[in-house]
Structure 1
Amino acid sequence: MTHLPYIVAAYGMTIGLAVILGTSAALRLRRARARLAAIERPSRADSRAGGASAP
């Protein structure tokens, strides 16, 4: 009896999970950067135009 099927399945599941987690992290990072850019855009325009300034 060989252990090859178990070893292949274990490696396959490990690689598959690593790919899923890596892809998920990359997508979440992309969305977070887009949200941050959308939040920062108006504040940068205000500061350049001499908008709200601290007393």
Structure 2
Amino acid sequence: MPDLGKYASTVLSAYGVALVLLLALVALSLWRGRRVRAQLQRMERRMSRNG
């Protein structure tokens, strides 16, 4: 790891915040994808029943 000097805490906290935000975006995308997929399956079942 490079020597960051007096900026080490600032740089590392920025990396930490960025990592948390990226993980949150991935989790949100996965959650929304599951929700949309479930809605689509419900609609497809309804359409196949109605002809």
TM-score (norm 1): 0.75
Taking the aligned partners of 1:14 and 1:42, their CA distance within structure 2 comes to 42
What amino acid sits opposite 1:24 in the alignment? Answer: L
Whether 1:30 and 2:34 are equivalent positions in the alignment is yes
Q: 1:13 aligns with which of 4, 17, 23?
A: 17
The structure in which a higher percent of residues are helix is 2
What amino acid sits opposite 1:17 in the alignment? Answer: L
Deviation >6 Å, runs of 4+: none
Instruction: Note the residue ranges of structure 1 that are not aligned, 5 or more in a row.
Output: 48-55
TM-score (norm 2): 0.80
Higher relative contact order (CA 8 A, sep 6+): 2
Seq. identity, %: 28
